[in-house]
Amino acid sequence: MIQLETERLRLREFTLDDAEDMYHYAKDARVGPMAGWAPHRSLEETKEVIQLFIAEQDVWAIVLKDTGRVIGSIGLHERKPDPAVQHEAQREIGYVLSPDYWGKGYVPEAVREVQRYGFEQLELERIWCGYYSYNDRSRRVVEKCGFTYAFTKQQQLTRLDGRTVDFLVYMIQQPTP
């Protein structure tokens, strides 16, 4: 997995050494439910998730350059939410961030770098980003990063509490030269 950098962040592959940092935010009830998953109950559960990230190779650790601490994650997943454009080269961005670092612009900074990588290196035609209707922080990120509303779909939160919620899907297309 390629490493990416911004002014303040390093986006790199997760290692099991990141488990403590990730568990710190993944156990917080303000994090997982906003992304549709239950807070982690143990460090062992966090290690299992990291092993999945390592195997799938589509999620970067968001690392603060000045401290080396993992403060969140960002993925570029091979998902195609709109059946009408399945033929296009596309991926979906997903992210979480430790509440200790909310409001500092780290996620938009990471999203913009992943967008750049997706369009320039992977030659994607379209990048998706979605959020649950109750997640205002993610709504602000998609707006700041140039995504435009595409559609809303119902989704059942099977990894959380089973309820059905609105999932708002946004997209951005490859900029024209």
| Domains (range + CATH), the chain | 4-127 (3.40.630.30)
Please give the pLDDT value at position 175.
Answer: 80
Could you give the angle at which helices 106-120 and 136-144 cross, rounded to 10 degrees? 50
The values of phi and psi at residue 43, to 5°, are -60, -35
pLDDT confidence of residue 40: 96
In angstroms and rounded to an integer, the radius of gyration of the C-alpha atoms of the chain is 16
This prediction's pTM: 0.94
pLDDT tens, position by position, 88-97? 999 999 999 9
Angstrom distance (rounded) from CA 14 to CA 58? 10
Helix (H, G, I), strand (E, B) or coil at 109: helix
pLDDT in tens, 138-170: 999 999 999 999 999 988 887 677 778 899 999
Structure confidence at residue 137 (pLDDT): 92
Residue 80 — pLDDT band, cuts 50, 70, 90? confident
